[in-house]
């Protein structure tokens, strides 16, 4: 460790605790998606009403991320992290025990609130543990829970629900959270919050050069991603893969893990190049999907490349955002939570409209248009946002 309490080597024990927090966020969010019939039966409601358990969770994250991040800026960092984790313990336990629909929805909303605060905290926390030159790699490790949860969380939760019931699935999440609380207390270093002189107003953070272009790329990139990810089942059905959606998502998840590793290697020295290359490749894959949507082989190949481009996205975008925001990094990362979740909701809405009016074959061409906009924003943000060359030593956002 250096005299500032920053690790000269990556503190994997602490960073993986942050990754576990992200994993619990994602699995808690997506768990109901694979268990809707069972939850509906258990609570005496329809599957579509059970599906609102996912909606209210996302709503909690959206509404709470910025105000809670601002409210807790002065608190010690580990206290805030533990608060979010204890929130998961409490609200997943209520979900497991509740037999009343409205109480379940309230628990899900506040679980989402916990997630909103967690997502705005994880990136900045990871950066504070290491020297500036290693911040991107540290964030890549802290983000590794996300693709694991996205690729394995829903199928694992669905399988678990079938074996032990949906309530016990949420109880298992509570058990994992207890393990995480102990892990945080043992391994994760504590840091002071920001002093009042360091706290930038929300408007000032938003208008810091580079912040809005990065958020613009987050919105467009994730909008294109979520059109396809949300409706991957009807899309792959065009190639006769309707019965193999789990395998398609597994290919995506494995590729995304590889993408995280690649992103972690590139982020500190070639951030701009990695972002432009990822977006251009995703746009190319979208064209490929549009032309070869009826070929199962082409779909598997395309999904693998799509996963590669997506894996490093969170690391690249959050590093760029935190670098641009400087002292306002935590607030900027809370804005990222809102924009990211808005893109998920927007992808669901836009994809639904496209599916209803033109069919799944229209996804690819709309994605190409959205990704070209994303590429344009990223390309123009050369001076601020997505800067050329190696990340400068002065870019120590989040290291306040």
Summarised one tens digit per residue, pLDDT across range 296-319 is 999 999 999 999 999 889 889 988
DSSP 9: S
Going by pLDDT thresholds of 50, 70 and 90, the confidence category of residue 353 is confident
**Burial of 334 from C-beta contacts in 10 A (0-12 / 13-18 / 19+):** buried
Give me the torsion for CA of 49, 238, 247, 244, rounded to 10°: 70
Does residue 91 contact residue 107 with C-beta atoms inside 8 Å? yes
Q: What are phi and psi of 130, to 5 degrees?
A: -135, 170
Share of the chain above pLDDT 90, in %: 42
Per-residue pLDDT, 398: 40
| Class in CATH terms, 12-187 | mainly alpha
Does residue 318 contact residue 126 with C-beta atoms inside 8 Å? no
Per-residue pLDDT, 394: 42
Same fold, 12-187 and 202-380: yes
Does residue 235 contact residue 228 with C-beta atoms inside 8 Å? yes
Distance of CA 305 to the CA centre of its chain: 19
- The yes or no reply on domain 202-380 and CATH 1.20.1250.20 is yes
Per-residue pLDDT, 392: 56
Task: Give me the residue spans of the domains in the chain.
Answer: 12-187, 202-380
């Amino acid at each position: 460790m250096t005299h500032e309490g920053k690790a000269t080597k990556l503190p994997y024990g602490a960073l993986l605790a942050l990754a576990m927090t992200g994993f619990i966020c994602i699995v808690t969010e997506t768990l109901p998606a694979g268990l809707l019939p069972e939850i509906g039966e258990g609570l005496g409601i329809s599957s579509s009403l059970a599906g609102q358990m996912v909606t209210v969770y996302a709503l909690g994250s959206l509404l709470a991320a910025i105000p809670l991040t601002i409210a807790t800026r002065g608190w010690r960092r580990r206290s805030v992290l533990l608060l979010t984790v204890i929130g998961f313990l409490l609200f997943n336990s209520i979900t497991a025990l509740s037999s009343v629909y409205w109480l379940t929805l309230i628990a899900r909303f506040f679980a989402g609130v916990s997630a909103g605060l967690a997502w705005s905290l994880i990136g900045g926390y990871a950066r504070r543990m290491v020297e500036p030159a290693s911040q991107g790699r540290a964030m890549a490790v802290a983000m590794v829970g996300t693709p694991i949860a996205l690729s394995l969380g829903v199928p694992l939760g669905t399988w678990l629900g079938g074996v032990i019931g949906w309530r016990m699935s949420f109880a298992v999440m509570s058990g994992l959270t207890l393990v995480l609380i102990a892990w945080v207390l043992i391994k994760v270093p504590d840091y002071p919050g920001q002093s009042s002189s360091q706290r930038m107003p929300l408007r000032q953070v938003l208008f810091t050069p580079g912040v809005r272009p990065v958020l613009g790329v987050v919105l467009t990139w994730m909008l294109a991603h979520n059109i396809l990810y949300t409706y991957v089942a009807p899309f792959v059905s065009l190639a006769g893969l309707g019965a193999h959606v789990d395998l398609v998502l597994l290919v995506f998840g494995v590729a995304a893990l590889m993408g995280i590793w690649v992103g972690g290697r590139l982020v500190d020295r070639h951030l701009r190049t990695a972002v432009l290359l990822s977006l251009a490749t995703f746009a190319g894959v979208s064209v490929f999907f549009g032309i070869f949507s009826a070929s199962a082989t082409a779909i598997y190949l395309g999904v693998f490349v799509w996963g590669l481009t997506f894996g490093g996205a969170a690391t690249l975008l959050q590093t760029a955002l935190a670098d641009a925001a400087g002292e306002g990094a935590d607030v900027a990362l809370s804005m990222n939570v809102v924009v990211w979740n808005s893109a998920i909701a927007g992808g669901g809405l836009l994809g639904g409209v496209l599916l209803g009016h033109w069919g799944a074959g229209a996804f690819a061409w709309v994605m190409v248009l959205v990704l070209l906009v994303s590429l344009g924003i990223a390309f123009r943000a050369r001076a601020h946002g997505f800067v050329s060359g190696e990340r400068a030593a002065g870019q120590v956002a989040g290291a306040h």
